[in-house]
Structure 1
Amino acid sequence: MRPILLQGHERSLTQIKFNTEGDLLLSCSKDHVINVWYSHNGERLGTYEGNNGTVWTVDVDSESRFMVSGAADNTLRLWAVETGKCLYTWEFPTAVKRVAFKEDDSQVVCITEQRMGHQCAIRVFNINRDGDGTNQSQEPLYMFNPIGSKATVCAFTPTPNVIITGHESGKVALFNVKSGDEIENNERAHSDIVTDLQMSKDGTYCITSSKDKAARIHDTKSLMVIKTFTTETPLNSAALAPGRPYVLLGGGQEAMSVTTTSLRQGKFETRFWHKVFEEEVGRVKGHFGPINTIAVHPAGTCYASGGEDGFVRVHHFDDSYFRAKPYGDLEIAD
């Protein structure tokens, strides 16, 4: 697989995201800029400028009309994907670490950092899709402070008004956004900070990665751990490959200690694990530093990884990937 190298950032990547069709790839990094690329050839389509700090997180709606971003300048911003215009800005006392659209695009959830006496807060905003999108409500529809360990990642679940969160202590929880109550939790989901959470296509399960060197698949209703993938390196990101029984894991030693480790010891590869058998099936090298974020094309034809080295690498899968029989001679009907 020859990767396409996307060079559009000057500092390390924080999150990358495909749109629903998979023709666009959004990337944000610590250099205050969000880039959008064509995923098939790596051509840069444009940039979204306006943030005054590290852009931590980005998400795009199902029509690729609106995009939201969260940044260290304490803002949540709504952008027009096509024109690159910032349509609306919400301001908070602390940095926005994670944003996610609801499946029907009607709402956005965001997590703000626990800093300077302010508690970690989770807010849900209604997104007004009428007109040009500049007419938004400044006030959140719901807001609450999760008790105990601060939340680091979140996503909407298929259950109405319920979000799933990953926390600094390693716990995974379900919250009712209306009341702010914790409906269900798994305190021992991970033993260290949860670094990423990605939902399956139908929302019935999700995968989380953690600094405790493991990734796990959870049932989004009961939070039961279905599968565990244990590696020997801290993980920063985990993604599910649609159409194939694989999960992709990325991570590596902390950026601070990277200079003292060689590429091989640093474990900067994207790892492919078999989703059912919990076995590692392959690795893809390439980054000169930890992999911070991984995203898989919604059709499963390619994947992208963003690293501490400031590069995004897009790998289009070879024919052999689709011809391989992950279950032996058994054919699984979709």
Structure 2
Amino acid sequence: MKPLMLQGHERAITQIKYNREGDLIFSTAKDHKPSVWFSLNGERLGTYNGHSGAVWCVDVDWTTTRLMTGGGDMTTKLWDVETGNTLGTIVCNSVVRTTNFSYSGNQASYSTDKTMGNNCELFIIDVRNVDASISSQSPVLRLTMQQQSKITSMLWGALDETVITGHENGSIRIWDLRAGKELVSINDHTNVINDMQMSNDGTMFVSASKDNTAKLFDSESLACLKTYKTERPVNSAAISPINEHVVLGGGQEAMEVTTTSTKSGKFDSRFFHLVYEEEFARVKGHFGPINSLAFHPDGKSYSTGGEDGFVRVQVFDASYYEFVFE
């Protein structure tokens, strides 16, 4: 598998996302320029200029008309995907850590960090009529995490009625948006949850944690179905849309990278069988931990974004489809 190397960011990648069709890849990094690329040939279409700090999160709606980013400059921005223009900016009290469009694209959620005397908060906003006044509009729902630790990752649940949050202490919670209260809470992880990604049908999601494991959960009951164990922190995990495969990415802490070789750093993408929990393949490449990864919606390729600032698009060989787990 010869990868496409997408080189355009000057600092570590924080998140990558495909649009629904899979022809575009959106990437954010600790430089303040979210970028969009063609997934087929790796050509950069353009950048979204407006942030003045590290951009931590990105999401695109299902029609690929709007983009949402959140950054260290304490703002959430909504963009027009095609023109790159800023549709609206929401100024927050602290760093914006997660952003997500709901499945319908009518609503969006974002969360802020617990810093500078401000509690971690979860916001739900209506994004149907976005204009410059969105910063002064009150959110549809505002939940303050009083006892709960900081939100580090977030997903929308079924029918846009719930939001699933992953927290710094390893807990996962489901929030009922109509009642504005917590429905289910579990503590299966023992450390920070770095990433959560839904399966194609929305019935399950996989979580990646600093406790060296990724876990598969039922998205309604939060029952832990499977556990994938490694010997390094897991920064991101994704479920294949066509096979019973899970890919994990991570590696040792970025600040320890220079003291070891690439071999011992464990910076590989690792493939596990979804059901049997057994590792069956590794793909090398990044010089530094993998911070984010995502499967192409057709399941024929996947992308990884690393601490080295590169996005690598790996297209599977024919042998991948012929592989049978015995």
**C-alpha deviation, 1:148, in angstroms:** 2.0
Whether the aligned pair in 2 keeps the contact of 1:162 and 1:177 (CA below 8 Å) is yes
Which deviations, in whole Å up to 9, do the C-alpha atoms of 1:122-152 show, x marking residues without a partner?
00001115xxx43664221000112322211
Which deviations, in whole Å up to 9, do the C-alpha atoms of 1:64-108 show, x marking residues without a partner?
000000001111100000011111000101011001111110111
| SS, match of residue 50 in structure 1 | coil
Residue in 2 aligned with 1:293? 292
Once the two structures are overlaid, the 10-residue window that deviates more, 154-163 or 283-292, is 154-163
Residue in 2 aligned with 1:241? 240
Whether the aligned pair in 1 keeps the contact of 2:103 and 2:160 (CA below 8 Å) is no
- 1:281-320 correspondence runs (5 A): 281-320=280-319
| SS, match of residue 320 in structure 2 | helix
Q: Write the letter of the residue equivalent to 2:128.
A: N
Residue in 2 aligned with 1:254? 253
Whether the aligned pair in 2 keeps the contact of 1:127 and 1:136 (CA below 8 Å) is no
Residue in 2 aligned with 1:134? 131
In the alignment, structure 1 segments of 5+ residues that lack a partner are 329-334
Residue in 2 aligned with 1:48? 48
**C-alpha deviation, 1:261, in angstroms:** 1.2
Once the two structures are overlaid, the 10-residue window that deviates more, 158-167 or 263-272, is 158-167
Task: Measure, in 2, the Cα distance between the counterparts of 1:202 and 1:245.
Answer: 13
Residue in 2 aligned with 1:216? 215
Task: Measure, in 1, the Cα distance between the counterparts of 2:294 and 2:49.
Answer: 22
**C-alpha deviation, 1:320, in angstroms:** 1.3
Task: Measure, in 1, the Cα distance between the counterparts of 2:219 and 2:160.
Answer: 13
In the alignment, structure 2 segments of 5+ residues that lack a partner are none
Task: Measure, in 2, the Cα distance between the counterparts of 1:12 and 1:23.
Answer: 23
Residue in 1 aligned with 2:108? 108
Residue in 2 aligned with 1:27? 27
| SS, match of residue 211 in structure 2 | coil
Task: Measure, in 1, the Cα distance between the counterparts of 2:94 and 2:322.
Answer: 48
Whether the aligned pair in 2 keeps the contact of 1:143 and 1:177 (CA below 8 Å) is no
Residue in 2 aligned with 1:62? 62
Residue in 2 aligned with 1:172? 172
Residue in 1 aligned with 2:10? 10
**C-alpha deviation, 1:159, in angstroms:** 4.6
Whether the aligned pair in 2 keeps the contact of 1:152 and 1:166 (CA below 8 Å) is yes
Task: Measure, in 1, the Cα distance between the counterparts of 2:47 and 2:148.
Answer: 38
Whether the aligned pair in 1 keeps the contact of 2:104 and 2:160 (CA below 8 Å) is no
Task: Measure, in 1, the Cα distance between the counterparts of 2:132 and 2:298.
Answer: 34
**C-alpha deviation, 1:179, in angstroms:** 3.3
TM-score using structure 1 length: 0.94
Q: RMSD of aligned C-alpha atoms?
A: 1.1
Task: Measure, in 1, the Cα distance between the counterparts of 2:300 and 2:82.
Answer: 24
Q: Write the letter of the residue equivalent to 2:304.
A: S
Once the two structures are overlaid, the 10-residue window that deviates more, 136-145 or 243-252, is 136-145
How many residues align? The count is 323
After superposing on structure 2, the runs of 4+ consecutive aligned residues of structure 1 that deviate more than 4 Å are none
Whether the aligned pair in 1 keeps the contact of 2:155 and 2:164 (CA below 8 Å) is yes
Which deviations, in whole Å up to 9, do the C-alpha atoms of 1:283-322 show, x marking residues without a partner?
0000000000001101111100000000000001111112
Task: Measure, in 1, the Cα distance between the counterparts of 2:246 and 2:113.
Answer: 29
- 1:63-212 correspondence runs (5 A): 63-128=63-128, 133-134=130-131, 137=134, 138-146=137-145, 147-187=147-187, 189-212=188-211
**C-alpha deviation, 1:41, in angstroms:** 0.5
Q: Write the letter of the residue equivalent to 2:306.
A: G
What fraction of aligned residue pairs are identical, expressed as a percent? 46
**C-alpha deviation, 1:37, in angstroms:** 0.4
Q: Write the letter of the residue equivalent to 2:276.
A: F
Whether the aligned pair in 2 keeps the contact of 1:145 and 1:180 (CA below 8 Å) is no
